[in-house]
A and B are shown apart, each in its own frame.
Chain A
Amino acid sequence: MYPAHMEESIRKVEATRGRRLQETLRRLSSDEKEPLLREHHPDFIAGKMRQLAVGPNKGEYTPSELADLLEGNSRIDPDKIDLGRVDHDLDVLVIGGGGAGATAAVLAKQSGATVLLATKLRLGDANTVGAQAGTQAADRPNDSPLMHYLDTMGGGHFDNIPELVEALVKDAPEVIRWLETLGVNWDKNPDGSMHELSGGGASRLRLHSARDYTGLEEMRVLRDEVRNQGIRHLEFSPAVELLLDGRGHAAGAVLVNLETNELTVVRAKAVVMATGGAGRLHIQGFPTTNHYGATADGLVLAYRAGAQIIFLDTMQYHPTGAVYPMQILGQLVTEKVRTLGAQLVNAEGGQFIMSLEPRDVVAAAIIRECQGRGKGIATPAGQVGVWLDSPMIDMIRGEGSIARELPAMVRQFGRFGIDIVKEPMLVYPTLHYQNGGIRISADGSTSVAGLYAAGECGGGVHGRNRLIGNSTLDIFVFGRRAGKAAAEWSRKAAPGALSLDHVRRWQKGLEQAGLAGSRPVSPLLLPDYARPMADFLPDSARRSLPVQRVKLT
């Protein structure tokens, strides 16, 4: 059910479909990709990045929205927190309850550690559930971890940290089996072999999927396992600062109950940061595929505690976010749609990019088509996009393929009267993934002793652009490694007295740089989408409010 002018454009898409079914566009060489990215990818727009003025990555560029939070003021006054009153005392604290956090918690527990998992929303509310397409692992006979390595490095523009990529690709098959042992239902052929698909920037069919609910399937199993193993978890309890000891080793965190503002002091011998991404910062005004809590909290806390961050200046814009209807603006249209054969087509029905290039390249090409060449299709709300020609899939793979492979997509568009078996989807890039993060080593350790990171908040493995299916791999590979390593560290660690001195130093640094008055409090915790109402509180009353409470708004 599209408006008339969009239906007209769809007639052109239909008219060229027969020809396009025979037409394969050439992939671009590295030399051809570079100018396309430089001219059209949002990462390269001058004026949208800013140099950090304080902290371990001082002088490096990052999107202004993220810079504001990295340079932010603490939500707590260290002088008003009683660190002598410890609410939880354990070996490993995992911050974040998505795929990486749940995995790290399970592995830390299995390694003999006492574990607490603290998460901002519910256990499992994370970007993991929204991952649709699949998980990469080079396990077919014509594939190898070496090819997976090369694809990943190329996708990341060869900036990836080699040791991390090696860990990613060599652990991958083991991770697939581990997940199956936990009860994940992979798509399989009748003979037991995995039903695998290709993906953007992948040279082999190595995407393991569970219909187009792959991340949901992985997450609901992991969440159940956390519960079955009796791992303590606190929901609606984000961390607002890390705790260090006198030597600067990680020693716990201060959590806040999102509903009551009650503070909780956790002492831990090791901390695993697994807080995910930053899509809800809406960098450069983009909509996002990310879940409600994706606000870069882990980056902010780790940065303040002295951890190095890497690839701060690159975000992933997923090429195909929904543009119409407006109710699902920016929501993910899985890359699996292209993997199955759907092409990207402009208003005139012509292809303009080989659909399975790496994501940054495809996103830049769509932006060029819409902004640079004026060949996009506008919606009544004024959004512009290009067509993703889903009906091709059943023509290539046989009737029923779309219903079988993409039930989530069929359902999502079907709710709004669009049948993607018969009509294409209108798409435009949407903020999807934080390519960089807290710099980790192969065991998940960071530059702060006792602090580990895993999943999207970790950085280095994906270089400057992540490939499809490597994030739902990353969370398990590095979640497992970080969970194990944190448990091991906790056996030897003897942390000193809990301290928030690093927060005092941080605030002093902000004041010296003249930033304290102009930066927001961070971590952000949640985006504020409520329509703002006028604030009538007298200033005198505001001054007398009890300030030891963490103010969330």
Chain B
Amino acid sequence: MVDVYVMGRHYRVPQGLTILTALEYCGYRVVRGCGCRAGFCGACATVYNFRNDAQLRYDLACQKTVEQDMYLVQIPFFPALKAIYDLDRLEPRGEQVLALYPDIVKCYGCNTCTKSCPQELETMWFMSDALRGDIRQVAVKSFDCVMCGLCAARCPQGLVPYNVALLCRRLYGHYLAPVSQHLEDRIAEIRAGKFDAEMDKLKKMGRGDLRRLYDQREIEPA
């Protein structure tokens, strides 16, 4: 058994539980602070430290195993700023990011955002990329962000790295990613009805014929 402290109260829980399942073992029925239960949704952002070690640590409650003497609390909601915008009317330039999130100039490089990221992203570096207007770099470096909000919760300047990064990724996808010509061509073919006659034939085909066609189809090597 492991000793843990949920919001200060002592419990003993079996070894090998995650913070989330430990809370449930203690008898808590979680409503907020639990989403995918698999490390993808960011709902269960958690801070913890230890009985004799005040240094704060950060993780996702569903992915972190409980350890002896952990002090636990979840941060299920944080009132972070989100700019409202019409993506179609933006320009993929640094000035645009600055116009929507002017506070990013206040970053003084303390690196707390990076230290608080449960995905171990280089948060402060992509914030400086955002300041420099390098939208592509922000998109690349922030890509694995689950938007748990811990960076915003911990930023002493009130910045919202996860929302700044989302803006940059959307700008990149909409404006900067190279065009996929084969995709455009296929959309045009479908609109022109190129596949309609054959599709009608397939739709009317009996199960036996369809099955034969399926079993005989040629398969492109993976």
Contacts and interface: CB of A to CB of B under 8 A. Distances in A.
Interface residues of A, number: 93
Contacts of A162: 202-203
A177 B210 contact: no
B43 interface: yes
Given A173-B190, A193-B181, A228-B85, A220 B166 contact: yes
A444 interface: no
User: For B16, B32, B37, B198, which residue has the most chain A Cβ atoms within 10 angstroms?
Assistant: B37
A163 B40 contact: no
A138 B26 CA distance: 49
Interface string A116-144: 00000110110101100000011111101
Interface in A495-553: 526, 528-531, 533, 553
B147 interface: yes
Nearest to A212: B144
Given A228-B87, A327-B18, A415-B64, A166 B40 contact: no
A399 interface: no
Contact of A185 (B21, B143, B213, B219): B143
B219 to A, nearest CB: 5
Interface residues of B, number: 74
B199 interface: yes
Given A185-B169, A224-B166, A411-B144, A139 B38 contact: no
A263 interface: no
A408 B39 contact: yes
Interface in A170-228: 170, 173-174, 176-177, 180-186, 188, 190-194, 197-198, 203-205, 210-211, 213, 215-217, 220-221, 224-225, 227-228
A227 to B, nearest CB: 6
Contact of A29 (B139, B215, B218): B215
Interface in B192-222: 195, 198-199, 202-203, 207, 210-211, 213-215, 217-222
Interface stretch (B2-10, B49-57, B171-179): B171-179
Nearest to B165: A220
B40 A292 contact: no
Nearest to B31: A258
B12 interface: no
Contacts of B170: 182-183, 221, 224
A79 interface: no
B41 interface: yes
B174 A180 contact: yes
B171 A129 contact: no
A220 B84 contact: no
Interface stretch (A36-44, A150-158, A420-428): A150-158
User: For A129, A228, A326, A331, which residue has the most chain B Cβ atoms within 10 angstroms?
Assistant: A129
A217 B140 CA distance: 12
A441 to B, nearest CB: 14
B177 A142 contact: no
Given A183-B171, A188-B177, A141 B182 contact: yes
Interface in A289-344: 289, 291-292, 325-328, 331-332, 339, 341
Contacts of A145: 190, 195, 199
Interface string B89-102: 00000000000000
B103 interface: no
B206 to A, nearest CB: 9
A203 B40 contact: no
A177 B185 CA distance: 12
A170 B40 contact: no
User: For B38, B39, B219, which residue has the most chain A Cβ atoms within 10 angstroms?
Assistant: B38
Interface of B: 16-18, 21, 24-32, 34-41, 43, 63-65, 82, 84-87, 119-120, 139, 143-147, 166, 169-174, 177-187, 190, 195, 198-199, 202-203, 207, 210-211, 213-215, 217-222
13 contacts: A30-B211, A130-B41, A139-B186, A141-B182, A146-B195, A173-B190, A205-B222, A211-B144, A221-B166, A221-B173, A258-B31, A327-B65, A331-B37
Q: Which 6 A-B pairs have the closest CB atoms?
A: A183-B170, A192-B178, A154-B214, A198-B222, A183-B173, A530-B29
Interface of A: 27, 29-30, 121-122, 124-125, 127, 129-130, 137-142, 144-147, 149-151, 153-154, 158, 162-163, 166, 170, 173-174, 176-177, 180-186, 188, 190-194, 197-198, 203-205, 210-211, 213, 215-217, 220-221, 224-225, 227-228, 230, 236, 258-259, 289, 291-292, 325-328, 331-332, 339, 341, 356, 407-408, 411-412, 415-416, 526, 528-531, 533, 553
